[in-house]
Amino acid sequence: MSEPFSVRVSVRAYELDGNGHVNNVVYLQYAEHARWEFLRAAGIDEQKFGAEGVGPVFLETVIRYRGELYYGDTVDISCAMEWGQGKTFRVPQRIRRDDGTTIAEIDSVGGLIDLGTRRLVPEPGKRYRAIATSPEVLGL
């Protein structure tokens, strides 16, 4: 089994909170950055979604904090998609230090929304496969 897709980032000073560690909302920003890079690696960008009349949405996100991050730390943010039946899919992500220590687990439920009707589209994996130039990156 191949390694999951990941993006490396370094913690910047302005991402810290009053306790001197990374602010909780920054974890969501890291996850979002990794998801868009993941999609880009599959050949999907915002314009392709727009041309198809759909857009990605998240219905639920759970973050489990396992450790702290500080200015100068370097982390890898993984991203994968787990396809099921129906209108949603899962996006498990992990934030890990260089030494492999898990800092946070982020698990989301997503879908594709029809930009005209504002409703979730059925079988989003089929839509992703049609839009992507490299659908295998997405596990399709």
Each residue's pLDDT tens digit, 37-96: 999 999 998 899 999 999 999 999 999 999 999 999 999 999 999 998 899 999 999 999
Q: Which domains does the chain have, with CATH numbers?
A: 5-138 (3.10.129.10)
In the block, residue with structure tokens 């049609």: 130
Going by C-alpha positions, the residue among 54, 123, 62, 61 that lies closest to residue 88 is 123
Non-local (6+) Cβ contacts of 118 within 8 A are none
| Contacts (Cβ under 8 Å, ≥6 apart) of 60 | 108, 109
pTM over 0.95: no
